């Protein structure tokens, strides 16, 4: 399980410029921290990927090793761990989150 799960996580992070690992989904979060984090990310107005760690126990078990971050949610942008709920909320309130996410979002062809 472990190596293939870690490879799958790395592939998700690589293939999705903005990915949120959370409990539940943005529309139906399963914990308060995931709810706040997903609302902040959705508030930036860009599309993003998410992974429900509750329905993916292997990912839930292994992701903390990949990012060296023990808790969920986890926001990854352009392959880098941004952080968890508190950091996401702070960045959202300062406007920094929108800048980071806008920069990472794939540009739509005009």
State the binding site for [2Fe-2S] cluster. Answer: 31
- The answer to the question of residue 34 being in a domain is yes
- The answer to the question of residue 109 being in a domain is no
- The answer to the question of residue 44 being in a domain is yes
Task: Inform me whether the pLDDT recorded for 88 exceeds 70.
Answer: yes
State the binding site for glutathione. Answer: 23, 60, 72, 85-86
CATH number for the domain spanning 90: value is 3.40.30.10
Q: Distance from CA of residue 42 to its chain's centroid? A: 11
The mean pLDDT of 4-18, rounded to a whole number, is 97
Enclosing domain of residue 83: 2-103
State the binding site. Answer: 23, 31, 60, 72, 85-86
Q: How confident is the model at residue 87 (pLDDT cuts 50, 70, 90)?
A: very high
The mean pLDDT of 87-96, rounded to a whole number, is 98
pLDDT tens for residues 14-58? 999 999 999 999 999 999 999 999 999 999 999 999 999 999 999
Going from the C-alpha of 91 to that of each of 4, 51, 68, 86, 88, the distances in angstroms are 33, 21, 20, 9, 5
The mean pLDDT of 75-96, rounded to a whole number, is 98
Give the model's pLDDT for residue 3.
Answer: 86
pTM: 0.94
pLDDT tens for residues 96-110? 999 999 999 977 644
Going from the C-alpha of 104 to that of each of 9, 38, 78, the distances in angstroms are 19, 17, 6
Total domains, the chain? 1
Q: Which two tokens stand for residue 69?
A: 């971050």
């Amino acid at each position: 399980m472990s190596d293939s799960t870690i490879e799958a996580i790395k592939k998700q992070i690589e293939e999705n410029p903005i990915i949120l690992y959370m409990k539940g989904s943005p529309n139906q979060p399963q914990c308060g921290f995931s709810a706040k984090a997903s609302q902040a990310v959705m508030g930036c107005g860009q599309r993003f990927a998410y992974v429900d760690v509750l329905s993916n126990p292997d990912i839930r078990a292994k992701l903390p090793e990949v990012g060296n971050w023990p808790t969920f949610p986890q926001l990854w942008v352009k392959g880098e761990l941004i952080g968890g709920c508190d950091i996401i909320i702070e960045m959202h309130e300062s406007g920094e989150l929108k800048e980071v996410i806008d920069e990472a979002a794939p540009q739509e062809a005009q």
